[in-house]
Structure 1
Amino acid sequence: MSATQEAELHDVAIVGGGIIGIATAFRLAASGQRVLLIERDMPANAASRGNAGAFAFPAILPLASPGILFKAPKWLLDPLGPLAIPPAEFPAMLPWLLRFLRASMPDRIEASTAAQAALNRLTTEETAKLTREAGIDHLVRRDGALELYESEAEWRASLAAWKRCQEAGIEVEHVDGERLGELQPGLSPRLTKAVFMPQWQTVSDPRDYALAVLKAAQDRGVEVMTGHVASLGETARGVRLTLENGREIEAQHAVLAAGPWSKTLAATLGDALPVTPERGYNTTLPPGAFDLKRQLIFAAHGFVITPLETGIRVGGASELARFDAPVNFKRSKHMLDKAAAFLPGLKREGGVEWMGSRPSMPDSLPVIGRSPRSPRVIHAFGHGHLGLTQSAATARLVSELILGENPSIDISPFRPDRF
């Protein structure tokens, strides 16, 4: 009998120790499953470490949209713009970009928006449930967010999108003048209009939040292992996970939640999925750098400013580039320059720069569902900018698939074979 046959058979093995994998481990363990979480580095050390820390429940409009067709060419030509592709990366990213442009056509947008709205409604409920059960409700701030505009014309151009959000049940308040200054004192006079979203939430620090969920999962019996999974395959008992060092692990089910690294592992099953690394940059300033009341969103410039327990985080933007492409911290410096112009009192000293890769799909929707080739493998990745936001809902849906329950929402828009 081989060592693999003698080894304990786990109920579920999760590949990926980011917030998606961690939240899924927690939910499965709470359902009585024996869970092994495998992470190649340290848990919550990639995008779950340096993201903007938002539960962006109102963010239902996909990045792929009709308006992007007019903005993208200008952005792509600007190496410091909200969406950039370094020239050397363009050939490798062209197939993804063509799918992105196709997903931006009007006939695709309504379906994508409806799917995102359904997922975000579910995640609003599931996040409250997860934080309550894990005993970490104190790590969540419920003070909303402000999306800011520099002119009346810019604000008016956004009204159709806000109307669509309101139709989906999202609360919005259009503000200016004294009300704007009340919600966030110290803004530049350049910022004349804003939209306040009271349902928006943030966390004390995204890494601290993820590790707190992980601690709660471990308290429920989740085992955490460091290892680099090289391939996945079916066995008579379920799924075989082969590590880079040759070790083999078996489980009745496997969950692939390795962010942008999921593409390579999915390919070992024969699943071809167009997930690509989308880099984000930020600078975290020390606490007290500005009296920030809530997250500020500068959509036209592609960045946000977030109040964290660990400081003031200025970051965002999108750069499509392979993992080994040169890092361009000019992008984080450029966003910090803009932040200082919008917040004249911002203290810029002592900042720490960071870059991390998000897993992005061309249609802005995640992949949630069974592998077409290996039904015991559940794909759960590709959340782009909404990984933290949608982590609790993804955990719920994955758990339902593994337990043989009907999914809480229609998951066909997220199916792995939609491309």
Structure 2
Amino acid sequence: MSKTIVVIGAGVVGVSTALRLQSELAPTNGQVILLDRKGVAEETSAGNAGAFAFTDLEPLATPGIMKKAPAWLLDPLGPLSVPPAYALQLTPWLIRFWRASWRDRYQKVVSAQASLMQLAQSATERQITDTKGEAMMQRDGALQLYESEAEFAASQRGWQLRRDHGIRFTLLHSPAEIAEIQPGLSPRFTHAGFTPDWMNTCDPKAWVEHLFQVFLSRGGQLRRAEVRDLETGGEKLHLLTDGEGVRADAVVVAAGAWSHQLTRRLGDPLPLETERGYNTTLPAGCFDLRTHITFCRHGFVVSRIRGGVRVGGAVELGGLKRPANFKRADTLLAKAARFMPELDTADGTRWMGFRPSLPDSLPVIGSAKRDARVVYAFGHGHVGLTQSAATAELVADLVLGRDLAIDLAPFASDRF
């Protein structure tokens, strides 16, 4: 009997998952329906940095991180900030975040993240090959920049993690060495690490749209609808929407920062928060950018998008409802102009997006407590694009009852 599977959310995780499932079900005349209230890549997947950050293993919650917490409230434009009016509402999440930073939890998170990243790298290559997407990739590596010997020394824990997990990199010890990879940077950056296997897509929105077109070509459907509730317990799952209801044999919740609004109704009140990320995209010709760059102490990145430059990042833990504070984007752009003196900052377009963030920086990938036919796939934080193809493969295996490539216990919804 053919199956109907619904995927809620048409960002990169949802579209990747829908594509994988539709590819699997097509020979049996199965159907995957993608539901989204706005459309394809209309939220965070439209404006991220376009990076496949397989080399980034450290979670946000690192040992000693809470010593910096007072600064989050005092500097509203800093690399990690919490609006004072939101601090009380955020407290339960921050307590779990603090616990995730303890060394025992930290080591387990790193191990889980490493296993998912390893799968993500191979799964992404399979996805690129399967969808003929190589033309949309930029395999130019990435630089992480440091401004002093002390800052560089403090970064060595992260580089040791990469070494332990077989990630290739080169450490650079002078502005001259850095300039050989990326000219035009301020000499204030004295040290760096270069990961040659890092890659980016030339346009994250276009990449998701490309995957979506392949999904449609294999028989998938898109319906614009907002899911209001999900009824379980019957022979079929019943999705109640703002339009016509949908019945399905399985449902995947991949709605990013909005996912917890539905999981709460399913008996899984997950501590999902929103990292609000800001950026400015500059037109082609504004700077000769040759690799992805991270300004480590300042918490933002510069990447090449559509031949231009996107300057963005940092973390504002501010929820879904507060108005955007575009002074954050302006601050990052002003810093980029100082760090890249030849950067032309004219004619930029500002943007803000919601990254779905759990306290331990790991996503939720697994079945709902109430009904195993509902599978969760959200909470990837900064690395939704990076882990999307791996998540799609894991979810397909869960839905179709196959053996899993990695242990999903660290990603279970009940770990909190």
Superposition TM-score, scaled by structure 1 size: 0.96
Gaps (5+ residues) in structure 1?
1-7
**Structure 1 pair 137–257 and aligned structure 2 pair: CA distance change class (3 A):** same
Displacement after TM superposition at 1:113 (Å): 0.2
Displacement after TM superposition at 1:150 (Å): 0.6
Which residue in 2 is equivalent to 1:22? 15
Q: Point out the more displaced range, 61-70 or 403-412.
A: 61-70
1:410 matched to 2:407: yes
1:315 matched to 2:308: no
What SS is found at the alignment partner of 1:70? helix
Which residue in 2 is equivalent to 1:121? 118
1:94 matched to 2:91: yes
Which residue in 2 is equivalent to 1:342? 339
Displacement after TM superposition at 1:71 (Å): 2.8
What SS is found at the alignment partner of 1:31? helix
Are the equivalent residues in 1 in contact too, given 2:285–2:307 (CA < 8 A)? no
Which residue in 1 is equivalent to 2:80? 83
| Counterpart residue type for residue 99 of structure 1 | R
Are the equivalent residues in 2 in contact too, given 1:9–1:251 (CA < 8 A)? no
- Cα separation, 2, equivalents of 1:9 and 1:356: 37
1:306 matched to 2:303: yes
- Cα separation, 2, equivalents of 1:9 and 1:119: 31
Are the equivalent residues in 2 in contact too, given 1:238–1:376 (CA < 8 A)? no
When the two chains are superposed, the root-mean-square deviation of aligned CA atoms in Å is: 1.3
Number of matched pairs: 411
- Cα separation, 2, equivalents of 1:371 and 1:386: 22
Within a 5 Å distance, the mapping from 1:231-380 to structure 2 comes to: 231-245=229-243, 247-309=244-306, 311-380=308-377
Superposition TM-score, scaled by structure 2 size: 0.97
- Cα separation, 1, equivalents of 2:320 and 2:82: 13
- Cα separation, 2, equivalents of 1:277 and 1:74: 19
Displacement after TM superposition at 1:235 (Å): 4.2
1:73 matched to 2:70: yes
Which residue in 1 is equivalent to 2:203? 205
- Cα separation, 1, equivalents of 2:56 and 2:64: 16
Displacement after TM superposition at 1:288 (Å): 1.0
Are the equivalent residues in 2 in contact too, given 1:10–1:36 (CA < 8 A)? no
Are the equivalent residues in 1 in contact too, given 2:287–2:308 (CA < 8 A)? no
What SS is found at the alignment partner of 2:403? coil
Displacement after TM superposition at 1:244 (Å): 2.5
Are the equivalent residues in 2 in contact too, given 1:258–1:381 (CA < 8 A)? yes
- Cα separation, 1, equivalents of 2:366 and 2:393: 12
What SS is found at the alignment partner of 1:232? strand
Displacement after TM superposition at 1:208 (Å): 0.4
Q: Point out the more displaced range, 175-184 or 16-25.
A: 175-184
Gaps (5+ residues) in structure 2?
none
| Counterpart residue type for residue 26 of structure 1 | L
| Counterpart residue type for residue 195 of structure 2 | M
The one-character-per-residue Cα deviations of 1:189-240 (angstroms, maximum 9, x if unpaired) are 1011100011211001000001001111111111011000011121422311
Identity of aligned residues (%): 46
**Structure 1 pair 344–67 and aligned structure 2 pair: CA distance change class (3 A):** farther
Q: Point out the more displaced range, 396-405 or 236-245.
A: 236-245
The one-character-per-residue Cα deviations of 1:263-301 (angstroms, maximum 9, x if unpaired) are 111111121101111100000011111000011001211
- Cα separation, 1, equivalents of 2:191 and 2:5: 49
Alignment match of 2:24 (pick from 21, 27, 31):
31
The one-character-per-residue Cα deviations of 1:326-356 (angstroms, maximum 9, x if unpaired) are 2100000000011011100000000000001
Q: Point out the more displaced range, 281-290 or 226-235.
A: 226-235
Are the equivalent residues in 1 in contact too, given 2:51–2:199 (CA < 8 A)? yes
Which residue in 1 is equivalent to 2:216? 218
Which residue in 1 is equivalent to 2:182? 184
| Counterpart residue type for residue 385 of structure 2 | L
- Cα separation, 2, equivalents of 1:122 and 1:322: 30
1:135 matched to 2:151: no
Which residue in 2 is equivalent to 1:230? 228
- Cα separation, 2, equivalents of 1:262 and 1:324: 15
| Counterpart residue type for residue 17 of structure 1 | A
Are the equivalent residues in 1 in contact too, given 2:2–2:31 (CA < 8 A)? no
